[in-house]
C-alpha cells in the first residue's frame, strides 16, 4: 500500500495584529519563518513544505522569502485560512496535512513524526495526545485530507474553521475521528508560552538563544526546557502575555491620539500602556493614528505597534485602517462629533479617554478620572456608558509595587515637566530653586521633545552644584522610586507620581489643568501651585522647601497616592473594551441567526 503523502502547511502573513511582520522578524540572525522551515526539514515523514499566505500586497515579502529559500508559497484570501489550506493541499496532492503555526520557533521534528505516526496507525482524521498528557510542544496539528474536505463542505461558514482550521476539531470532537497519540516523554511537561505574538515574546526567544549560545536553528526544545528549569526567571520576560483563544475574540483596535511638539507625550505614553494591555492580555492588535510631530511615533514603533502620522487633526480616519473592531480617541484636537459618528457606524466599539468635547457623545464608552469637569458634562441624547473614578486612571508606564522609601539625609527632588515642556517650566523651576540651599539633590528630566534640549541641560547644571539632568530615559519608574518629592507639570505624570507614592507639587499649564489638580489636592496626593506662567519663583521655592522639611506630610501624601491610584487602569480599560466587543459580536450573531 502506498504510504500517504505528508505535507507541512505553514500559515503565515505579515499582518499579525499583535506583532506586525513577525514571521520575518530575525531570531539569532535568521527570520522566524526560516526557523520553522529549517526544523520541519528534519522530519522523516514530511515530504513537502508549503507556506500558505494571503493575496494582500504586504505579504509579497513572504513570497520573496519563499523564492530566496526555495520554499513553495501559495496565496489565498487573507480572512479565510481554511481556503488557503485547501489550495495548498490541492497543489501539493497532500494526503496528510501538518498545520504549522508561523509563530512557534521551537518545533521538534521527532514529536511531529510521533503525531503523524499515530494518525496513520489509528486511521484517524485528526490527532491529539492522550487525555491528560502534557507537552511543551505547540504550533502543529496533523490532520487528513478527508478531514480538510469535510471542513470545506460542512464548516466553511464557521469563523473558527475559517481562521483556525483545526481549532474547529477541538471545539467539535465528534466532527471527525480523533486519533490519540501516546505521551512523548522527552517533552512531557508544561513550559508556558513558547510562541511569538508580541515584542516581549520575541525578546524571550532571543534571550533563550543567547543563554544557550545557540546559532540559528540549533536551540532544541529539550535544551530550552532544561534551561527554564535552571533559570525560571527567564519566564518573566513574557509570562504576562495571554495566549489567544480558539474562539475568535481577537480583533484590531485603532487608537487616535495627539503627541509630540505642543501636545507633549502624555497621551502617547498612556495609549501605549493601553495598547500593550489590549495586545498582551486580550489578544487584540493595535494600530495608531497620531496627530502631532514625527517624534511621537518613535516610542510607539519601539513598543512594536504600527503607527501613522496624520496630516491634520481632522484627517479622514477611515483611510488609516479599514474598519477596526475598536476605535479609541485620546486627543485634544481631532474629529468632530459628526465625523466620529460616521466612522463609529462602521466600528463595533468606540471609546474616548478623558474627552470633554462633543465627540464623546458619539462614543459607546468613556473613561474619566474623578476630576470636577466630569461632573459638568451633559450626556443628554447619548447612548455612551460613562466610567468615572480613580480606578480608570491610565498611567504612561507599567506599574510596579513601590518599595519602602529609604531614609536619606539628603533628599531628592525630581523636576519633570513632560516630554516636550512647551511652556518652558523646567528652566523656570531651575531658576526658582537657585534661591534654596543645596541641601538636596534636584534632578531635572530633559524630555525627548524638548526644544534646544542640549542648551537647556547645560544651562541647568551650570546654575547650582546640586542640579543634575536626566536625559534619554526610556521611562521614569526608577526615578519615581528614588525621589522624595516631585515638582511636575500637571498631566499624565501627576497620575504616575500618585501611583508610585511620590508627593508632588504641580505647575498647571491651563485653567482646565488647574481645576483637575484640585481633585488631586482634595485626595491628598499633592499640592497645586496654580498656573505655571503666573506663579512667582519665591512661591515655588517656598513650597519645595516646606514639603522637603515636612516628612510627616510627605508620608501622608505617599500613603494617599498608593491607596488612590492602583496603576491597573490600562488592564481594566482593556478588559472592559474586550468585553464590550464580545457582547457586541454576540448581539450581532444573535441578530443574524434570528433573521
> What is d(CA 174, CA 508) in angstroms, rounded to the nearest whole number?
65
| The pLDDT of residue 594 | 59
Each residue's pLDDT expressed in tens, for the chain with a length of 595 residues: 688 999 999 999 987 766 778 899 888 889 999 999 999 999 999 999 999 999 988 899 999 999 999 999 999 998 899 999 999 999 999 999 999 998 888 899 999 999 999 999 999 999 999 988 888 888 899 999 999 999 999 998 888 888 889 999 988 889 999 999 999 998 888 777 788 877 788 888 888 888 887 788 788 888 888 887 787 777 766 556 555 554 445 688 999 999 887 788 888 999 999 999 998 888 888 999 999 888 889 999 888 888 888 887 766 665 555 678 999 999 988 888 998 998 888 899 999 999 999 999 999 999 999 999 999 999 998 999 999 999 999 987 655 455 555 556 689 999 999 888 989 999 999 999 999 999 999 999 998 888 888 999 999 999 999 999 999 877 788 899 889 999 999 988 999 999 999 999 999 999 999 999 999 999 999 999 999 999 999 999 999 999 999 999 999 999 999 889 988 899 999 999 999 998 988 876 665 555 5
Could you identify the residue written with the cell 501651585?
529
| Largest distance between two CA atoms of the chain | 95
Helix, strand, coil percent content, the chain, rounded in steps of 5:
40, 20, 40
Provide the residue count of the chain: 595
Dig out the grid coordinates for 507 from the structure: 505647575
Domains in the chain: ranges and CATH: 6-191 (3.90.550.10), 252-396+570-594 (3.40.50), 412-564 (3.40.50.2000)
- Kindly state the helix (H) or strand (E) to which residue 281 belongs, with its residue range: helix 266-282
Task: Give me the residue label for grid cell 459628526.
Answer: 338
* pLDDT for residue 587: 79
Contact 506, 520 (CB under 8 A): yes
Q: What nine digits make up the cell of 318? A: 477611515
Torsion angles phi and psi, residue 238, rounded to 5: -140, 20
- pTM for the complete prediction? 0.67
Coil, helix or strand for 385?
Answer: strand
Q: Is the dihedral of CA 210, 203, 186, 116 positive or negative?
A: negative
What pLDDT score does 105 carry?
Answer: 87
Phi and psi at residue 23, to the nearest 5°: -65, -20
Residue 247, CA distances (Å) to 19, 495, 571 in order: 20, 36, 21
Instruction: Give the model's pLDDT for residue 16.
Output: 72
Contacts of 67 by beta carbon, 8 Å cutoff, 6+ apart:
73
C-alpha cell recorded at residue 550: 515636612
- C-alpha to C-alpha distances, 289 to 27, 297, 318, nearest whole angstrom: 29, 9, 11
Q: Which of 557, 414, 402, 539 is nearest to 483 (CA)?
A: 414
Amino acid at each position: 500500500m502506498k504510504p500517504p503523502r505528508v505535507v507541512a502547511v505553514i500559515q503565515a502573513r505579515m499582518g499579525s495584529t499583535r506583532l506586525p511582520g513577525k514571521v520575518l522578524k530575525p531570531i539569532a540572525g535568521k527570520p522566524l519563518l526560516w526557523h520553522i522551515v529549517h526544523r520541519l526539514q528534519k522530519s522523516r515523514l514530511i515530504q513537502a513544505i508549503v507556506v500558505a499566505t494571503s493575496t494582500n500586497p504586504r505579504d509579497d515579502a513572504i513570497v520573496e522569502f519563499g523564492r530566496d529559500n526555495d520554499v513553495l508559497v501559495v496565496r489565498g484570501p487573507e480572512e479565510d485560512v481554511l481556503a488557503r489550506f485547501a489550495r495548498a493541499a490541492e497543489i501539493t496532492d497532500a494526503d496528510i496535512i501538518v498545520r504549522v503555526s508561523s509563530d512557534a520557533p521551537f518545533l521538534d521534528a521527532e514529536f511531529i513524526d510521533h503525531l503523524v505516526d499515530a494518525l496513520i496507525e489509528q486511521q484517524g482524521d485528526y490527532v491529539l495526545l492522550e487525555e491528560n498528557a502534557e507537552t511543551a510542544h505547540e504550533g502543529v496539528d496533523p490532520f487528513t485530507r478527508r478531514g480538510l474536505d469535510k471542513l470545506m463542505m460542512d464548516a466553511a461558514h464557521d469563523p473558527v474553521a475559517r481562521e483556525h482550521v483545526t481549532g474547529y476539531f477541538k471545539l467539535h470532537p465528534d466532527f471527525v475521528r480523533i486519533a490519540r497519540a501516546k505521551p512523548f516523554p522527552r517533552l512531557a511537561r508544561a513550559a508556558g508560552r513558547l510562541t511569538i505574538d508580541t515584542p516581549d515574546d520575541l525578546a524571550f526567544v532571543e534571550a533563550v538563544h543567547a543563554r544557550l549560545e545557540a546559532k540559528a536553528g540549533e536551540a532544541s526544545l529539550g535544551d530550552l526546557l532544561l534551561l527554564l528549569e535552571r533559570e525560571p526567571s527567564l519566564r518573566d520576560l513574557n509570562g504576562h502575555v495571554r495566549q489567544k483563544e480558539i474562539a475568535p475574540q481577537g480583533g484590531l483596535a485603532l487608537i487616535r491620539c495627539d503627541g509630540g511638539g505642543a501636545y507633549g507625550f502624555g497621551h502617547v505614553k498612556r495609549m501605549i500602556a493601553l495598547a500593550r494591555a489590549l495586545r498582551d492580555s486580550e489578544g487584540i492588535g493595535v494600530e495608531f493614528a497620531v496627530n502631532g510631530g514625527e517624534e511621537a511615533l518613535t516610542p510607539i514603533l519601539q513598543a512594536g505597534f504600527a503607527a501613522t502620522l496624520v496630516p491634520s487633526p481632522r484627517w479622514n480616519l477611515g483611510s488609516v485602517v479599514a474598519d477596526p473592531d475598536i476605535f479609541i480617541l485620546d486627543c485634544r484636537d481631532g474629529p468632530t462629533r459628526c465625523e466620529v459618528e460616521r466612522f463609529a457606524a462602521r466600528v463595533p466599539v468606540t471609546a474616548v479617554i478623558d474627552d470633554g468635547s462633543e465627540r464623546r457623545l458619539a462614543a459607546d464608552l468613556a473613561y474619566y478620572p474623578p476630576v470636577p469637569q466630569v461632573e459638568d458634562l451633559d450626556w443628554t441624547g447619548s447612548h455612551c456608558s460613562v466610567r468615572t473614578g480613580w480606578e480608570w486612571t491610565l498611567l504612561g508606564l507599567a506599574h510596579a509595587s513601590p518599595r519602602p522609601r529609604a531614609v536619606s539625609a539628603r533628599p531628592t527632588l525630581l523636576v519633570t515637566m513632560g516630554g516636550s515642556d512647551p511652556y518652558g517650566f523646567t528652566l523656570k523651576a531651575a531658576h526658582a530653586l537657585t534661591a534654596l540651599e543645596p541641601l538636596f539633590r534636584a534632578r531635572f528630566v530633559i524630555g525627548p521633545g524638548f526644544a534646544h534640549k542640549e542648551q537647556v541641560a547645560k544651562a541647568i547644571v551650570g546654575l547650582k552644584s546640586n542640579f543634575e539632568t536626566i536625559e534619554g530615559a526610556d521611562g521614569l519608574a526608577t526615578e519615581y522610586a528614588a525621589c522624595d518629592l516631585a515638582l511636575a507639570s500637571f498631566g499624565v505624570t501627576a497620575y504616575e507620581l500618585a501611583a508610585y507614592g511620590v508627593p508632588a507639587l504641580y505647575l498647571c499649564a491651563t485653567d482646565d489643568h488647574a481645576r483637575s489638580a484640585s481633585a488631586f489636592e482634595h485626595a491628598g496626593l499633592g499640592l497645586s501651585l496654580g498656573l505655571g506662567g503666573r506663579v512667582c519663583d519665591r512661591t515655588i521655592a517656598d513650597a519645595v522647601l516646606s514639603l522637603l522639611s515636612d516628612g510627616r506630610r510627605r508620608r501622608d501624601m505617599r500613603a494617599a497616592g498608593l491607596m488612590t491610584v492602583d496603576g491597573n487602569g490600562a488592564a481594566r480599560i482593556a478588559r472592559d473594551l474586550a468585553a464590550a466587543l464580545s457582547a457586541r459580536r454576540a448581539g450581532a450573531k444573535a441578530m443574524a441567526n434570528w433573521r
